[in-house]
Amino acid sequence: MTTLYTEQSKNISKTWLLMSMFLVVVIGIGWFFSFYYDNPDILYFFVIFSILMNVFSYWFSDKIVLRLSGAKAAKREEHFALYTTVENLSITAGLPMPKVYIIEDPAPNAFATGRDKEHAVVAVTSGLLLILDKPELEGVIAHELSHVGNRDMLLSTVVVVLVGFVSIVADVFRRNLFFGGGRGRDNDRGGNILMIVGIVFSILAPIFAMLIQLAISRKREFLADASGALLTRYPEGLANALRKISQYSKPMTHQSSAIAHLYISDPKGSRLKEAAAFGGVPPKAGKISSLFATHPPVEERITALIGK
């Protein structure tokens, strides 16, 4: 019989499988570079540099995300209800009290960041506090604390860095294909084929990397929803919060695509009203667009929570 715990286990296994595929792509690009330019040191550079980037981004992830989001530290006396909600749920979850931040933005949203549970941060927008009642706010905070408990923050940060790394090196390779040396510079058939393969690979690699990032993000959202519902014992609270958040169609005024997947909802805004205004999204188009979405559809998340 399938339970919440078996679903959590499946999601974690699938996530690490995706991460393994991601690392294979990075190593594959490094190997191709080293082969094309006949220099094995390039592969070593790829591996070492990617590790250093991951360490740096992990250690300073909270500062990077907070600066990109424009979040400010929240004062307890000004946001007492928010503070007590975070504090009570942290105790229930067995987690240290995270730092609490506020983003002055009318769009309802929230995220968690930090390198580990001892250095976690939970940030919510001012718009979220205005539209949610207590059970709904508890549902959202429980969702974010679940990201902390499930150690999603490290995974999310590593994925962001790997996507950026793959995109940068692929772009550099495309530019260098037409300058300098390399096996592809030989005027034989094999060299031309190798150059074509390199061009195709440099174009597809960033797309593939981005799809993996988005797939991981969507899996983590489902897992955090389930864990948050288990924490509050009231899945309707989070389900109702997701409904209200999805009904706000305007994007956040201060956003960055680099951290869009960290939010509980897409900071670019809900497309439900816009789709309805144009007669809905065709099924095939919807399936294709969902591949490039940072979050799973709200309807699917609500159904997973309460079955309707």
Using an 8 Å Cβ cutoff, are 106 and 210 in contact?
Answer: no
Tell whether the model's pLDDT for residue 273 goes beyond 50.
no
Catalytic residues: 144
- As a whole number, the mean pLDDT across the chain is 79
Q: Per the structure, how many domains does the chain have?
A: 1
Using an 8 Å Cβ cutoff, are 67 and 97 in contact?
Answer: no
* pLDDT: which is higher, 97 or 30: 97
pLDDT at 47: 80
pLDDT at 285: 46
Using an 8 Å Cβ cutoff, are 92 and 230 in contact?
Answer: no
pTM: 0.78
Task: Band the pLDDT of 288: cuts 50, 70, 90.
Answer: low
Q: Residues 194-216: what's their mean pLDDT?
A: 74
- Of 194, 210, 205, the closest CA to residue 172 belongs to 205
Domain range for 73 is 1-308
How is residue 155 written in tokens? Answer: 């995974």
